[in-house]
Amino acid sequence: MRNNPSSKAYRTILDTSRFYRSLGVPALVILAFLFILPLSIILSKAFVDSDGGFTFNRLIGNLTSAYTLRILAFTLFQASVSTVASVLIGLPGAYLLATYRFPGKRIIRAICTIPFVLPSILVVLGFVIFYGNNGLINQLLMNLFGLEEPPLRILYSFTAIILAHAFYNFPIALGLISSFWEQLPAHCNQAAATMGAKRWTVFRTITLPRLMPAILSAATLIFLFCFSSFAIMLVLGGGPQFTTLEVEIYRRARMTMDQGGAAALSLLSIVVALVLIFIYSWTQRSLARQEEIQETVQGRLPRSPQSLRAKILVVLYTLFSVVFVLGPLAGIILRSFQAPGSRSGNLEFTVKWYEQLFGIQSQAGSILGTAGTAVLLSVVIATITAIISLIIGAMTAATLRLSKGRANLTMELMAMLPMAVSSVIIGLGYYLISSFFNESKTTGSILIVLAHVVIASPFVLRTVLPEYRKIPFTYTQASLTLGATVSQTFFKVELPLLRGALATGAAFAFAISMGEINATLVLANAQVVTMPVVMYRLIGSYNFPGACALGTLLIVCCALVFSLTESLKRRPHA
Amino acid sequence: MKKHAILSLVLAVSLVPAAIFGQGKTESPASIANEITVYAYDSFTSEWGPGPLVVPAFEQKTGIKVNLVSVGNGGELLQKVLLEKNNPKADVVVGFANDILHEVLVSGLFVSYRSPEMDRIPEFLHFDPSFTLLPFNYGNFAFVYDTQKIQVPPQSLEDLLDPKWKGKVILMDPRTSSVGMGLLQWTIAIYGEDYLSWWKKIKPNTLTIADGWSSGYGLFTQGEAPLVISYTTSPVYHVMYEDTQRYQTAVFAQGHLAVIEGAGILKSSAHQAQARLFIDFLLSDAQEAIATTNIMYPVNPDTVLPDAFSAAPKPEVSLMLDADAIAKNREKWLTEWVEVMSR
């Protein structure tokens, strides 16, 4: 074999795939240690009865209970509606971002990612401050028309849940779809248009089918997020009539100390989520094979809007996203500058919450104060998380792109697993992990970064994979035939083609890490005090405006980082 | 090309160093002679909690070092020590509420200690006759109201059912919130078997049933509704730290459910003497710091409190359900509650 020249190309490809296959290994190792191992231990409790014996009864009992099935049905229903709403809101924006160049484009992208970093308690507060019965909109209307009662009753209903989920999740649709759309070759549309097809027809028959991989990617992520939503459900929905599986898992794990029951319910939710991910992955594969980058990799070059209609559209969407996203954020910022005045209790302007945040010395005695240290720590952890997630995500995507055989599908499912598991159950798993380690700040920080990587890399993977699948394997082959090494091919040929997707993925990974609280609290026994941890503590000790002040700082940090990634994203040749 | 596979493996392994060096390094607690490890719920250890005040004072008084570890909330504290059963690290756990007493006793992980300080603590606070958990602070659940919207507050649980409070009450879900659980037990303490009829009638009056105290109380201070379930002591915070008397407690003559928080010593602790000193300290010298940061009542009647605490009228009747009854019926109550409330 070795001396046979004709087998050389064959060998090269084999070697290549071995290289690419091995790229997925680190992701698997981290996943196994930090996720699958503790999770299986926790989930195995579903099969242990009260005397320590083996049982299936608990699982069967849960599966056949009418109540469980009812909340499962509702969980799926609300997640579907929320997903459709988020995608529908994101789609026009993705079109505008992919098609036009206009001032404020970068701002739209940057602010849209912000809801993502906010802990749900702050989103709830922001929503209430903006849309609430005593919120900004209602106060404005009451003052304008001299009304006694708030005219708009948006919150505490099913609509409010969908609204909040859309606020949280439409940025995913916007980000993923627009970065994919920008890479779509324009010539098909041009050809169709030349042959006299109407715009709508072109969109419906050519663009939309080709966008499907990105739309499905976004939809799956959004669905999984809404699937496990719970704080937003209860508070903004109005109460127990809107119960998700996650609420019931929480009840068993935290309130009634029924770990077996919690494990049984999460097994149920994991299976349901996996079925969805499976269907999605399968669809995604068959779609991706139809779409490969053509020889001339000419994406759409965004241009300035020419027609009046285009200009109006751009202005309207910009206004909409600014109000929709910035409204609740503005609520948080406003609250951070208010304090009840003495006696009367009326709200007055103040900067005292900020003074307090930076004035209180942390136990470590740092000069920056509690808030300063937390800001710094959060940014450092999020940056490292984003970098590692990017590497892991891109590497795993390289392996998965080979898309042959059942083994890869299994691996893809495993890589998506963290998104399918309730955070309450993951939290129990973290306790398990942390009980093996010495409580030191360094170990804690490392564990936190790794846990964030586990949560964030599925995102990077979902962002990168659809675009990676579009790169024909012949590119890789050609590059190797021309004498480039495998790593050169990976870094110089493939990665540059993925630039946009990588930047989007990194931004989301950063955001996820900035807002993450479950793993952070548990893994380091709260010795590693990040911004969400401080926020959670402030709220726990009645200091809501202080939490809003810190939330404002979080918003500012993220806005800065997101505009930075946006500027990195511009393609080298454009 | 094998090189690449190996390289990736090396990278993979280097990314989980914690998994490797974490194991062997665990120091046995006994190796540090004069240090105790204390597990407490997160808000106890936070910058704004009692921890930063209590720990240095104790260290100075006794010369014993304290390693204060933050562990989520009350239920999670128990989970953590149960998970560590075979590799125990803590000496003292601070923050089990009275409604979890049964589970704590059943775990068999804690040792009984009758602190001499208990003699000074009123009888109704001795929630654990076996002295496995000793009380260090307590509170009473109560409805807090906004004086800008309400001049005449409700006088009883029945008063809250009046149609004039339609959409004006914020509650919390007992499945996810300990305050929500408190209200559920309060209604059971007052109405017994018939408690669900109160819940049926309160439904139209609730604005929302929040997932936790944090979001519910946040809605209240944001002015979404003028009544919220919280603690009798909640107004103290607004007086002490915001200098306003806008928020006040509605005192009900029928009584308020009490929540008593306790601390206990682990059987496995190699520092029983030091742990006992810490408990004694918690029940005596630390009382003022705990009360003013936790915004709860101290258990030790000798504690001198700031004037702001006059904003928290102590209820004349403090109610409590039997711990065994709670453990036995908790699941059933929740199921019945959901059945009624989710229709």
pLDDT one-digit tens code per residue, A360-398: 544 444 455 677 888 889 999 999 999 999 888 888 888
- Closest residue, chain B, to A123 (C-alpha): B215
Average model confidence (pLDDT) for chain B?
Answer: 88
Q: Which two tokens stand for residue A491?
A: 């870094």
The Cα A566–Cα A559 span in angstroms is 11
**pLDDT-above-90 percentage for chain B:** 74
Tell me the average pLDDT across A334-338. Answer: 89
Tell me the average pLDDT across A189-213. Answer: 79
Cβ of A537 within 8 Å of Cβ of B103? The answer is no
Angle B55-B56-B59 from CA coordinates, rounded to 5°: 85
Cβ of A18 within 8 Å of Cβ of B243? The answer is no
Cβ of B80 within 8 Å of Cβ of A363? The answer is no
Higher pLDDT, A430 or B129: B129
Considering only A202-216, A266-280, B8-22, which range has the smallest mean pLDDT?
B8-22
**CB distance A156 to B207 below 8 Å:** yes
| ipTM computed for the complex | 0.83
Cβ of A235 within 8 Å of Cβ of B241? The answer is no
* End-to-end Cα separation, chain B, in angstroms: 64
Q: Which residue has the tokens 């937003």?
A: A232
For chain B, say whether A132 makes contact (Cβ under 8 Å): yes
Cβ of B176 within 8 Å of Cβ of A447? The answer is no
Considering only A239-248, A262-271, A424-433, B180-189, which range has the smallest mean pLDDT?
A424-433
**pLDDT-above-70 percentage for chain A:** 87
Cβ of B78 within 8 Å of Cβ of A257? The answer is yes
| pLDDT over 80 at A196, yes or no | no
- Residue among B67, B84, B208 whose CB faces A239 most closely: B208
Q: Domain B139-258+316-341, what fold? A: D-Maltodextrin-Binding Protein; domain 2 (3.40.190)
Residue A510: closest CA among A384, A418, A377, A386: A386
Burial environment of residue A404 by CB neighbours within 10 A (0 to 12, 13 to 18, 19 or more): exposed
The Cα A309–Cα B276 span in angstroms is 77
- Closest residue, chain A, to B296 (C-alpha): A541
Cβ of B244 within 8 Å of Cβ of A363? The answer is no
Domain pair B30-138+259-311 / B139-258+316-341, same fold: yes
Q: What is the pLDDT of residues A32-49, one digit of tens each?
A: 777 888 888 888 888 887
Q: What pLDDT sits at residue B174? A: 94
- Residue among A254, A539, A540 whose CB faces B76 most closely: A254
Dihedrals phi, psi of B118, to nearest 5 degrees? -60, -25
Q: What is the pLDDT of residues B187-234, one digit of tens each?
A: 999 999 999 999 999 999 999 999 989 899 999 998 999 999 999 999
Most confident region among A185-189, A289-293, A447-451 by mean pLDDT: A447-451
- Closest residue, chain A, to B203 (C-alpha): A239
Q: What pLDDT sits at residue A573? A: 43
Q: What pLDDT sits at residue A574? A: 36
Q: What is the pLDDT of residues A65-115, one digit of tens each?
A: 888 999 999 999 999 999 999 999 999 889 888 888 887 777 777 777 788
Tell me the domain boundaries of chain B.
30-138+259-311, 139-258+316-341
CATH number for the segment(s) A12-34+54-289+301-360+367-569: 1.10.3720.10
- Residue among A435, A446, A534 whose CB faces B84 most closely: A435
Q: What pLDDT sits at residue A381? A: 93
DSSP E strands in A177-322: the ranges are none
pLDDT band at B4 (very low <50, low <70, confident <90, very high): low
Q: What is the DSSP string of B297-318?
A: EESSTT----GGGGGSPPPS-E
Among the four given CATH numbers 3.40.50.300, 3.40.800.10, 3.40.190.10, 3.30.70.3270, the one describing domain B30-138+259-311 = 3.40.190.10
Number of H helices, E strands in chain B: 13, 12
